[in-house]
Copies of this chain bind each other. A is one copy, B any other.
Amino acid sequence: MKRFLLSLCCIMALYAVSAQQAINEKQSTLSPEIHPDNRVTFRLAAPQAQSVKVVGDMIAEPAEMVRRDDGVWEYTTPKPIASNLYNYNFILDGVKITDPGNVHTMRDVSSSFNLLLIKGGKGDLFATNAVPHGTLSHVWYPTSDKQHSARRMSIYTPAGYEQGKGRYPVLYLLHGMGGDEEAWIGLGRAVHIFDNLIAEGKMQPMIVVMPNGNMIQHAAPGESAEGFVTPTLHLPRTMDGTYESLFHEIVEYVDSNYRTRADRLHRAVAGLSMGGFHSLHIAMHYPKMFSYIGLFSAAINRGNPELSPLYRDFDKHLDALYATEPRLMWIAIGSDDFLYEENLTLRKMLDKKGYPYIYHESEGGHIWRNWRDYLVLFCPQLFK
């Protein structure tokens, strides 16, 4: 036993040495520390720093961290943080960095930040719980698009899918501008939401397809042939009608390769921001394909009619969609969202035409916290 322990110590010590290469030692500064009452302490060892702040959506204002004698900067929230999923950064001498003590970083467009999960309430929806888990797959589907021969998407199959023989309804879930096929998984915690809602019996087991809506990308940065480029709010080919007009290729791939219920009563399309724009135009372009539509903080009617016929005659397309009597048109937006007005305009148009929809207004603006909440509210309404 002694020799064995010696051997282990030797491994540990040598791992620490090789830390200069690729394998790294344990961080010695605990951050974040979630206290039993859900106050949170953030820490950064930075003896030479002149100023360190913490910023994030769990606090209203940037908070000054205080330097301890040992060079560790510290900030503890004065109040408990409500159970939820949050993101934060440190500002070290003016530079926005991620917390080196917390390896859970996430990317949104071109910025990285840390995640903080407070359990014991709403946050449990975004946690891994002792429930059956679905499978998440990254697959490439063939396309006739001029730029790439294949495009990457993420597909969730619910627990039991692989072992069973049954057919499932399908939700197509679209990301926003600057996002990609990984956005709903990472920032949206969609897989965790699906597992938890299905386990609670609040959501039908369904397949969820999360494609990439930027036609100039065929995959998320890092996974694409472009390599490790830093993503931007790509505009070319994101709202030129191509994605919508080729969307049937995705549906055909999914219906061919998965056990789907391949009819409109068992297909939903929903998305956030630009993905809401895409969802609406896809639903209108293929009025016989989807019966459930979700618009989360959607960019409404921003299509350039010069770029695609899809964006002409909005009224006519809307009439064609409603002629099929969709089971659900669900519109959600935050009261502070910069897209509030154009959603109001859409609602007025629907009211005037007597077209039914369900409206949910939340607090806050154009943020992921709202979109996770909308997904939690939307999914239970599908395929009833």
Contact = CB atoms under 8 A, between A and B. Distances in A.
Contact of A15 (B133, B139, B177): B177
Nearest to A151: B133
Interface residues of A, number: 99
Interface centre among A44, A128, A163, A299 (most CB of B within 10 A): A128
Interface string A172-198: 000011100000000100000000000
A112 interface: yes
A222 B23 contact: no
A112 B103 contact: yes
Interface stretch (A115-123, A278-286, A321-329, A351-359): A115-123
B133 A140 contact: yes
Nearest to A227: B117
Given A22-B369, A93-B49, A135-B137, A105 B104 contact: no
Nearest to A274: B11
Contacts of A144: none
Interface centre among A96, A230, A338 (most CB of B within 10 A): A230
B127 A98 contact: no
A86 B325 CA distance: 55
Given A108-B24, A257-B163, A302-B7, A97 B94 contact: no
